[in-house]
Structure 1
Amino acid sequence: MAPRTKKPERRPSVSYLTDTLPSALPPIFEQAQNTTASHRKNIVQLFKVQKTCAEVTEETEKGIRLVGERAFNALFINMINRVLPVKKRVAVADRVVRFVASYVAYTTEQDTIEEEDGDSMSQRFVAKLVRHLLAGAEAKDKSVRFRVTLMLASLINGLGEIDDDQYVAIRQGLLDRARDKESAVRVQAALGLAKLQAGENVDDLEDGEESIAEVILDLLRHDPAAEVRRAALYNLPRSSATLPVILTRTRDIDPILRRTVFHGSFSSASMPDARVLTITQREEAVRNGLGDREPSVRKAAAGMIGGWFDQAECDLLEFLNRFDVVSGEVAEEALLSLFVTRPETLENIDFPDEWWVNLSPEKAFLARVFAEYCVSNKDESRLEDAMPVVTALAFRIQDQYNELVNVAGNEDDMQEKSFIVGELLRLALTSDYADETGRRKMFAMSREMIAMPDLPDALIPRCLDVLKKISTSERDLIRLIVDVVTELRMGDGDVEDPDSAGRSSSVGVSRPAPEEQHAAALIDLRCLNICIGLLERVNTPLQENSVFHGLLPDLIIPAVRNKDEPALRDQGIVCLGLCCMIDEKMAAQSFGLFIQQVASADDELKVKVVRIIFDLFMVHDIPAMLEDTIGAHRIAELVRHMVLQDAPAVQAAACEGVAKLMLAGIVDDTDVLQTVVMLYFSPDTADNQPLRQCLTYFLPVYCYSSSENQARMLSIFNDTLNHVSTFAEDFEGSPDLLPLAQMGLMMVDWLDPEKAVGNHVDIGMHLDLGIVLLKLLLTETVRDIRKAAAGYLSKLSLPEDGQADMWKTKAAFTLIQAVRDKRPMSEVAPRKALERFQATLLKQYRELEGYDEDAFRADGDEHEETSELWGFIDDIDEIPASPVKRGSRATSRARSSATPSGASDSDTPVRSRRVPQTVVEEDEEEDDDVDAMLDSD
């Protein structure tokens, strides 16, 4: 029997392309857009259609034409074109994009299975598709650009090996879209570039050409859209080059991005060993994370710290080695966070006797933080079980101090040993001193340490804290410290008193040698540091501690007079300031000296003196204190002088003091308030971050705290707006200059009555502001100011009908009509803003229905405020509004009447830093006058 022969397969004809193909693809795409469950089946079916089409060819003189492939590709692209104009977040379009990406990956995979090399059907199809998409990347329609970029980013992983030309084309297309004006497009571009990054060879780039990694880093650092920065962060590899940039995002304005850094980039899953970060970087991450205002970010940071603890094999000492416990300030926060999130770690903490034998900084630190944590959580039983008794602890401190003395001269070892002794002294504060033997031993040891001339300065406050805890009263503590200071200065009789030597020089006795003078100055400096630490810890008036009076003429006053040792003079002034804090009479006698130092001292001392002055204002009666110097009526002038100092550190300290005084209601001068506001907006202070941070908190809190404070801000609104408008000329081109409209909007927000707190909130504050703005539109001729003022009208929170003052609503309505009649707005936007405000008044307040201007004017015969309003309006000349340059502003009686009380156009701008005359006079006084002040103490 002859074998059966296989019939040859019939190749599809050209008619397949016209009859069958057009109806084959639409159902597949229709099913793909409805659900992803059918994608796999439809991909297989679509591939069969493509292969069938590929068999349709046509022979020509030039060769074989792939008419079937071209028809399939054209129809496939036609299907895609229907999706491209669809906006983002449309599910059916997203499913089609996913289907296309999956199909590209499948058809490329079939080339590998069938071992097809060279120019295959799939390669030609992908090349055609990519060229088409790249052509649409420049479309004007933002939806098309988004869909094109999304599809390119989605199909990159499925392209397999692509030739260089195609790679370069896709790369350039995505780089262009990374600068698109639409954030959604930039997100997809970042995702696509991240997928291409692995195939990029930096050596192949031309000179000056950005790498993909640099572009993604730039998006992470500078892109204004949070979703773009998040996309860049998600796809950024962790390396020594990228980690510092990622760390900066812990201060990003987007809380989701900040949380992602801790929960993702710095987590133990993404970063198996935290030591790839430097100690400084680790501490910055912990500081920013645990100090974040968002609870979710703090939680993510705590999770990051727990992951680092796991990496240290749950060993607390090894965990602490990841931080700088000696000079850093973050290790304690990290450890406390660990105690909260991993409470089981507390159960495993134990301090046996051998723990204290070879103490390291980490051991001492852990013991101290554990003890303070137990005290704060009132867990005395656990503290008592873990810690040694007071007597044993005193001996441990003594041993460590002896080791500190033995390493004198070795800076690193001294710092480490000093830290250990300091931690043990802080640990001693948590001990129970019911044991009289232990109390006496700790007291004697602390007394002996603080009397040592070579005790490190950092340990003086620690010893004082222990002595204060053990002492029975502040009087006993003061008596003890006076005895210590006396011993140090007299040197048990070995060192001659430099003051007595100086006094006797006039009768023929030789002065001490320079070496002796320097040694005596060092002893006095040590004594002043001890006195400063003491005064910071006591509140008892000096009148009740006569034993301290001897130190004033013997130590403190000579130090203030000392002209040869600046450090000694500075500490003497600080010590005198602390004395004045607890003695009002001394404060009044010494205040002139502090004023003189503001004018003549160096910047570092000025900061200290400014803080002293403001602290004295906070605790003493200001009129009584200033009566014999500049007078209480000039306190505002003095405050402004300190705020307008040139040194940024002095300015920042003064602003902190002003904020305290004004929040406490001690100073309520509007000139001071205006000066502070001007400093806040001035580009001169842009680099003074302490000042800016202080005022960013103070100004809104001050205004929201009471309607009286908002009323003060309202009284300076016009004048401040005029002053800040001059910044545009004075700081032209400065990147730190805010637009005038933005500065004014911040003041409008501070005056929002809905944000004010208290029992007597003036709900009509913004209605009052509306009247002020309308008067400004009548008197102001500078175009930028008028334009900004008109724009503020739409931001006002007006009171409800029945809650507003009827006279004020009519006054506002009258002023609107006056602006339209006498000073009409020349630009469309301000004019429409004025019209909208008028419509809002008409809609909101029923008393304006049938408003009669003549009747309202007639009310002026009985109401003085109505008469003043019409007098103000009548004095305005009917001048058409026109752009007027700064400096050509018209002046009139009406304009002066709109200026807030206490302020005028002649006020010196902030940048001139005008010095009060009183302070200048103090600066010109001779040192003999200062000596007289000190002698009066």
Structure 2
Amino acid sequence: MVDVADLHEILQDASAEPPANDEGFHRDKNVQKLQALYDETPCMEELQTALVGAMTDDRRGKVSAAIDRVLEVVSAVQYSTDDVLEVLRFGIRCSQADDKQIRLRSIQLLALLLHHIPEIPDSIWDELVDSMIVRVRDKVIAIRVQSILVLKRLQQPDLQDDVVTAALLRLAVVDTSKEVRVAAVESVALTPMSVGDLLIRVRDISFDVRCAVFRSHVKDICTALDRMYLLDQGLQDRHEAVVSACQDMVLEWFHQCSDNPLELLAYLALDHPVCPLVLQFLFKKGAVATMPQVKSKALLGAPLSPIESFFWKEQCCYFKGDHDLVEEYCPALPPYCDLLRHLHDTLEEETTEKEATIRVGQHLLQLGTALDFQDEVGRRVLINLLREKLSDWQFQGEWVKDGVALLAMLSEEFEFIQYMTEITSDLYDAMQECESMSPTKRRAMSERLDEIDQRMDEAGVPTDEYDQLQAEGMALEKALEEPKTLRYLRCLELASKLLQYTRQSLKNAMIANVLHLILPAVDSDIPALREKGLECLGLYCLLDRKMALNHTIVFWRVLNADDEDGDSKHTCIRVLLDFFAAFKAFEITPVDEDDERVTSASILDGLATYFCVNENQMDAWDLQTQTLVVEGFIKLFLLKRIDDSSKLRAMMELYFHPILQQMIHSNDHGFCSETLQLLSVFYPAMANLQFDLMIETIRTIFSNSVYGLSSIPLDEAALYFLSIFPEKENAHNALSLQCCVEILAIAELKLKKTEKAALQKQWWTVLQALEWTGTNGRLVVLLEEVLTALKGVNDTTKFKARMQEVVQEPPTLTDEDTQWILNQVATRKDQLGQYKKKMSQTVQRREEIASDSEADEVEAKPVNREKTTRRSKQVATAKITLAEKEITISDGSDDEAAAEVEAISSENESDYE
């Protein structure tokens, strides 16, 4: 029989706070004492009784820390197999208690026990899983956290449908508590199936969760694309703690690669723009103790790999300002020119490693911008080399961009313009001497090539026939690439680079003369030439306002041509939006086109249709076009070129578009689409820049959502759009005025009480979420009137208490203020009164859908989801789908629906001040 006094003495000593710099001695001493007592006489019943007393103590501070120390000592004892089962079952039973403190401490004990025992008995495995799966939904955050620590040991990542891993992933994505999400991210097992959902958390609203992702060991299990996404988000995060966590992760990866930067780069995608940031951090940190001798290897004539050339480029760019190291790492101009010549000759000879050689050449040309150009002789040699190579129409196309950029840096602007015009003129003159293929023959070859592609895509094509078709197709493609077309494309490419790099206007005769080689390409029947010609014409027009005004209609016609290919249309969209962004008050001369008056306003309206707000299905071209147009309109709004509330409303509704919410790219693991990323950055910037326009637009969106004219879920829209304002007071007060006016106007309508209550409830929900203040006298009076109108509402107690806290003294209103309030309510009542029938139908549809959902629902559980910029896709999709069903207006003509939108939404843009 164990001495209970001895047991209590040990536990009492274990609960005591250890001295400073104890380093675990106090804990280990008590573990040994308890272990000796247990070995002498098993005392499970007495131990359980003692633990229950500690678990029921709900005091915090020192007492809570003391209980933690007791549980750590108890869990560290090595029990027999039977006693392990007994204490685990004791913890499971206690985890089902009504007392939250007992549930918390019992689950904490289970987590500590599982941490210490080497193997979990099979007989209790399922019981542990079932009990913890229930507890991860506990309303107490600390209990959910401790349950996650238990489930961490119960995962079976080898099973494809492991319920434990699935539960942890769910918590990492949708739990509302950042502490729970952090614990889930740190505990979930990394598998090829789970790593995608885990990486989504790098966009979490809490920086603690984002930091937790970077503490996960994901390097070897991620793809190169995933690793680049992780580094891109982390190294450029807005919070210093996240950047620091990502940098620690980079250092860990670097040490795993034996402190070899070349080995680390092998895990990354060199073309990604975040790769230079990784090397710059390592250089700044001084982590690269031994620099690879890439310079010596290159100058000795040994071939470089793309990884080595990339490292050398970044090394030279980073250390070019250090006079002590620049000579050690950067080559002089003469040997650099020899290296470029050697690489060019190697490319003409190679066949197998051509792609690698091309990438090495790109890196070396980019390296040239970091060299010392004080050697005038060497600089002239390099300029002549670049002019020589760019004059060759067979010069590698991937090198043209970097070659022109290096030439622009080496030369004065007037010299650069002269060099480029000479090169393009020589190529153009040589091109005109080449024989061209007849349009009939080219059309026939193109049609045959289309037939071959269509036949090869069919199923069941015999192997011999497939090989023959493939050989014929390759021969046709080669034949269609006639030298004259290729030469012309190179002329246009060089002309576009000239127009990009010059700061001269069209008053410069050499720049203006470029137009003679652009216009024939725009009229060409070859799509590639036409697309490049449109790009050059757009760049040319950006140098002169009058030229842009005269040629705008050209791009508009190409955009609306049915037989034009998608790439050319994208070029036209980009150019038109650039015109409006580059020139203030850009108004073209009206032109009649197909019985339609084309003006600047009509062009903007036409471009806005590519938002695809009302589209139920969009293909890849639609999504790409949507992103392009959204980006362009964002520039116009931020530059204050336009202030159209209807277009801004369309962009804001686009954020909640069902298709964008449902987008899941297999390679990107469901990351945000580019459109959503652009919009999430645009809204806060717009709220700071054009406050009144944003408030006006949000008012309209709220009205459309309440009255069934928009598919946007009101609760999500309100929660998100209210969070984008840097100064909450003015925004929340302005929107609170609208809510009050709407509630009072609905109260005066002749509707059924249930219908009034249903409509008022939505405005009341928004009003409760707003953080209004008592500084606006009109608002205070309206709030009091709303409380009077909503006497039957049960949840006004907290609202009244808040008013008493916020409103310190009764407001003083002038006759003008009183008349303003009366006019606002009366005007809104008249507007809504014209469409009472439609409003009643909207309420009825919502009630029908709600009743159907309740009847079909098997188990009603509240969905906890995170309200962040990067929202949970599944829940958002479900809500939007439901909202679409709710607001579908099946009756009424198009004219009536349009009139309703005009009355309920557009007229709602009154000034609530």
TM-score category by the smaller chain? 0.7 to 0.9
User: Given residue 88 of structure 2, which amino acid in structure 1 is its aligned partner?
Assistant: V
- Contact preservation (8 Å) 1:100, 1:155: no
Deviation for aligned residue 1:27: 5.0
Are residues 1:369 and 2:350 paired? no
Distance 2:798 2:76 in 1: 56
Deviation for aligned residue 1:699: 1.6
Other-structure match for 1:658:
633
2:210 to 258, 269, 274: 258
Other-structure match for 2:365:
425
Are residues 1:534 and 2:478 paired? no
- Contact preservation (8 Å) 2:333, 2:378: yes
- Contact preservation (8 Å) 2:527, 2:565: no
What do the CA deviations read for 1:713-754 (whole angstroms, capped 9, x no partner)?
A: 333343221223467x976xxxxx6x41231244444567x3
Deviation for aligned residue 1:315: 4.0
Deviation for aligned residue 1:710: 1.9
- Contact preservation (8 Å) 2:630, 2:651: yes
2:608 to 637, 640, 659: 640
2:577 to 608, 614, 620: 614
2:346 to 384, 400, 403: 403
- Counterparts of residues 340-489 of structure 1 (less than 5 Å): 340-342=284-286, 345=289, 351-352=295-296, 355-360=299-304, 361-375=306-320, 378-380=321-323, 382-384=325-327, 386-407=329-350, 410=351, 413-474=353-414, 476-489=415-428
- Contact preservation (8 Å) 2:100, 2:140: yes
Distance 1:403 1:581 in 2: 40
The structure-2 alpha-carbon separation of the partners of 1:597 and 1:75, relative to structure 1 and needing over 3 Å to count, comes to same
Are residues 1:788 and 2:770 paired? no
Please, which moves more after superposition, 354-363 or 87-96? 87-96
User: Given residue 650 of structure 2, which amino acid in structure 1 is its aligned partner?
Assistant: T
Distance 1:741 1:694 in 2: 22
Distance 1:426 1:48 in 2: 71
What do the CA deviations read for 1:837-876 (whole angstroms, capped 9, x no partner)?
A: 76467x334444xx8xxxx6xx36x997477458659979
% same residue: 21
- Counterparts of residues 744-893 of structure 1 (less than 5 Å): 744-750=718-724, 754=727, 766-780=732-746, 783=757, 785-794=759-768, 796=770, 804=776, 809=777, 811-816=778-783, 818-819=785-786, 824=790, 826-829=792-795, 831-832=796-797, 835=800, 839=804, 843-848=807-812, 859=815, 865=820, 868=823, 872=827, 884-886=840-842
Partner SS, residue 319 of structure 2:
helix
- Contact preservation (8 Å) 2:686, 2:694: no
Other-structure match for 1:917:
none
The structure-2 alpha-carbon separation of the partners of 1:635 and 1:184, relative to structure 1 and needing over 3 Å to count, comes to same
Other-structure match for 1:508:
none
What do the CA deviations read for 1:293-331 (whole angstroms, capped 9, x no partner)?
A: 222222233233334444444444444344343x44443
- Counterparts of residues 199-210 of structure 1 (less than 5 Å): 210=162
The structure-2 alpha-carbon separation of the partners of 1:697 and 1:784, relative to structure 1 and needing over 3 Å to count, comes to farther
Partner SS, residue 622 of structure 1:
coil
Other-structure match for 1:590:
551
Deviation for aligned residue 1:419: 1.9
The structure-2 alpha-carbon separation of the partners of 1:87 and 1:611, relative to structure 1 and needing over 3 Å to count, comes to farther
The structure-2 alpha-carbon separation of the partners of 1:338 and 1:107, relative to structure 1 and needing over 3 Å to count, comes to closer
Deviation for aligned residue 1:700: 1.9
Are residues 1:190 and 2:148 paired? yes
User: Given residue 654 of structure 1, which amino acid in structure 2 is its aligned partner?
Assistant: V
User: Given residue 704 of structure 2, which amino acid in structure 1 is its aligned partner?
Assistant: H
Please, which moves more after superposition, 241-250 or 354-363? 241-250
Distance 2:260 2:233 in 1: 24
Are residues 1:906 and 2:901 paired? yes
Deviation for aligned residue 1:29: 4.2
Distance 2:478 2:76 in 1: 87
Deviation for aligned residue 1:209: 6.9
- Contact preservation (8 Å) 2:204, 2:210: yes
- Contact preservation (8 Å) 1:323, 1:330: no
- Contact preservation (8 Å) 2:687, 2:725: yes
- Counterparts of residues 142-153 of structure 1 (less than 5 Å): 142-153=100-111
User: Given residue 533 of structure 1, which amino acid in structure 2 is its aligned partner?
Assistant: K
The structure-2 alpha-carbon separation of the partners of 1:661 and 1:299, relative to structure 1 and needing over 3 Å to count, comes to same
1:690 to 674, 687, 691: 674
Other-structure match for 2:88:
130
User: Given residue 351 of structure 1, which amino acid in structure 2 is its aligned partner?
Assistant: K
Are residues 1:337 and 2:281 paired? yes
Structure 1: gaps (5+ residues): 1-11, 55-68, 109-121, 267-273, 503-512, 732-736, 756-762, 890-902, 911-937
Other-structure match for 2:750:
none
- Counterparts of residues 263-274 of structure 1 (less than 5 Å): 263=215, 265=217
- Contact preservation (8 Å) 2:745, 2:828: no
Other-structure match for 2:696:
715
Please, which moves more after superposition, 97-106 or 568-577? 97-106
Deviation for aligned residue 1:401: 0.9
User: Given residue 387 of structure 2, which amino acid in structure 1 is its aligned partner?
Assistant: R
Please, which moves more after superposition, 306-315 or 692-701? 306-315
The structure-2 alpha-carbon separation of the partners of 1:418 and 1:191, relative to structure 1 and needing over 3 Å to count, comes to same
User: Given residue 481 of structure 1, which amino acid in structure 2 is its aligned partner?
Assistant: M
Other-structure match for 1:81:
52
Other-structure match for 2:855:
none
Deviation for aligned residue 1:338: 0.8
What is the TM-score of this pair, normalised by structure 1?
0.72
State the Cα RMSD in Å.
Answer: 4.4
Distance 1:696 1:250 in 2: 15
Distance 1:417 1:162 in 2: 56
User: Given residue 793 of structure 1, which amino acid in structure 2 is its aligned partner?
Assistant: L
1:302 to 231, 242, 247: 247
- Counterparts of residues 32-181 of structure 1 (less than 5 Å): 32-35=14-17, 73-87=44-58, 91-92=62-63, 95-96=66-67, 98-99=69-70, 102-103=73-74, 106=77, 108=79, 125-156=83-114, 164-181=122-139
Distance 1:765 1:870 in 2: 20
Partner SS, residue 188 of structure 1:
helix
- Contact preservation (8 Å) 2:742, 2:828: no
Deviation for aligned residue 1:397: 0.8
1:561 to 505, 520, 523: 523
1:740 to 707, 714, 724: 714
The structure-2 alpha-carbon separation of the partners of 1:514 and 1:818, relative to structure 1 and needing over 3 Å to count, comes to same
The structure-2 alpha-carbon separation of the partners of 1:617 and 1:405, relative to structure 1 and needing over 3 Å to count, comes to same
The structure-2 alpha-carbon separation of the partners of 1:559 and 1:303, relative to structure 1 and needing over 3 Å to count, comes to same
User: Given residue 687 of structure 2, which amino acid in structure 1 is its aligned partner?
Assistant: C
User: Given residue 681 of structure 1, which amino acid in structure 2 is its aligned partner?
Assistant: F
